[in-house]
Every structure is written in C-alpha cells, then in structure tokens.
Structure 1
Amino acid sequence: MNTTKNYIFTSERLGFRNWMEDDIPQMANINSNTNVMKFFPSVQTAEQTRGFIYRMQQQFEEQNYCYFAVDVLESDAFIGFIGLSDKDFESDFTPCVDIGWRLSENHWKKGYATEGALACLKYGFEELHLEKIIATTPSVNIKSEEVMKRIGMTKVKSFNHPLLLDDERLRECLLYSITNR
C-alpha cells in the first residue's frame, strides 16, 4: 500500500489530496453503497469508479482542483471525496465550477462534509482565485442542501437537471452558489 500522502491542503481534521491507485477499491466500495448513492440514478461499478478517479486525476493536472480524495488526519482513514469539479452539462449556468462531496456512510454525521467543503471553498477562492462556485443537488436531498446552507451558499433556483430528465424522483434539482468576497 502506498502510504505517502502529499496533502494539497488540510482542514482541522481532514487532508485533501490527489487520487492514488490504492483509493480505487475503497471508493468503489463507497460508490456501491445504496445509502450513499440514494440520490443518484444508480450505484457505480468498480470500473465506473476507476474512470471517475482517472478523470479527477486528469482534471487536477490541468486545473489544480478536482473532487479530492479525503483522509481523516488523526487515523489516516480514507473517507471519500470533497472538492471542486468542472461542470459542462447543458444549462444556463454552465460551464462552471461545482463543489461536491461523497463520504462513506460510517463517516456521516461528524461534520466532515461541512468542514471539508469550507476548506475547499477557501482553497478555490484564495489559492485558485475562482470568482464563483456552485452546487447542485436533487431537491429531495435535504442533507446536501443543509451543507450548502451551512457553508454560506445561497439558493439560486430550482431546475430540471438535463442528465436526470428520465428520473422522476431526481429530476428536480436545486442550484446554490457562492461568490468570492
């Protein structure tokens, strides 16, 4: 196992880094959990997870940001991702930079999503000099919307997500945003 972890930045309890091969099985396990993926059209396979991680590695090389692999500093435990990613699906607010998170179920309700998202906003605004960061979630995902509010984002509107039009439960999404102050 590769235990060399070069953190791009840290928060009080979390380390944010680019992805490693060793992360693939752990992230695949998270992506196959039906509770974690409740607000997505389906769980993801190991191969889909591998593709996602490769895309994130490539995006980091090009942009200096991605949905970062996240570890708990105290225990060195990998818990999922929190970070920034480019979005370019067809809408009136894309292309844009999105903030998102997906954590293993046994690391929920510890404040990690909020703490990590605040650290990512700080990185995006102070280090990358981004002007605006958005977040989207299906309107039924109250917990993600609560995180968006806690990190200071403002609701912009509801919209039908073009990639979820065939999914009656997930189609209606919320758009939140925050600008660099």
Structure 2
Amino acid sequence: MKFIVVAGSNRKNATSTRLGEYVIQAIHGQGHEASLFDLYQTPVPFYAADEKLDDDLHLADLKARVLAADAIILATPEYHGSISGVLKNALDHLGQSYFSGKPVLSISSSGGAVGVSALLQLQAIVRNMHGINASEWISIGGAQRRRFEATYDGYEEYEGSQDIEERIQRVLGSFLHLAEAITSARK
C-alpha cells in the first residue's frame, strides 16, 4: 500500500512534521510505501477558486501524490485552537476527488497539553471530503513532544516516553488494519 503524510506546519523543525516522519518509518517497517509532503519545504500557492494554478510544480506534485495514495495521514500543529493555515490551504486545493473513500489518520503536536481542537476540525474536514476517518488519532503535547524535537538525541528519558511510543504504535497498527481492509475491498 501507498501512504502519504501531508505535514502542515510552517516551521523548519516542527514536532508535528517529525511525528509524521516517525510514522513513515513505522509504516516502512510494516512493509508499505510512505512518503512525506512537507508544506514548509514545498509550499503551495494560496487557494483561489477563480484561478487556475496547474503550472505550480509543488501543487501538481501534492495532487499527484495524494491521488496515488491508498491512505492519507494529515499532520498539523494546533494554532489558536485550529489546524494550521498552510494545511487548510493545501486541503482547499485538493477536495473530494482526492479523499473520497480513502482512510485518513489525523495526527497533531501541540505546545499545550494536546491538540484536540485541531484534530476534531480535521476530522470534520475529512468527512466533508468523503474520506474515512480513522477511529483514533495521535495527539502529543507538553513533555511528550520532547521525543520529536530536533535536539532529541534518543538517550534521554522524558516523562511518558514509553507511553507515547506504545500509543503511536497501537494507533498506527489500527490505522494500517483499516487501510488494508479498505484497500482490499476496493480491488
């Protein structure tokens, strides 16, 4: 199966993007293809319904990769109780034809306790684009984010380190099972 992680942060070393990279490694470990589309590294133009933006290479790449994916993972920080503007902009470019019938996992890294508001909004957006929301999401915040910071060296212990890794693996396992069931039913 093919997975794509769309990382919707506008920061160089965003923990939400690094969480997405961690998920990609875990998916590779299960024998599937997975790639990252980082909206910080490859920004797309502002959505304008009246304009044709077919010549934008980043946008064309995003569209092609999401369309080809069997399953989608959306990664966002939480800004002011919502998803990031760059992720919302990218989703506005995509629409139903890219999500319809595909399983979608929402993941978030928040500076506060957890990014639940952003994840709830992502699930509503996915429903409106006819995607199939995973029954769980991955949300990290506070000290849990330490594992995904650029300065993390893998040797230090932090509060909840074991719990967060186990939770990510459990949720990801459930999502992979959903994606496999939906993908095999489509064929």
Higher relative contact order (CA 8 A, sep 6+): 2
Please state which structure has a larger fraction of its residues in helix: 2
- TM-score norm. by structure 2 comes to 0.33
Please state which structure has a larger fraction of its residues in strand: 1
- TM-score norm. by structure 1 comes to 0.33
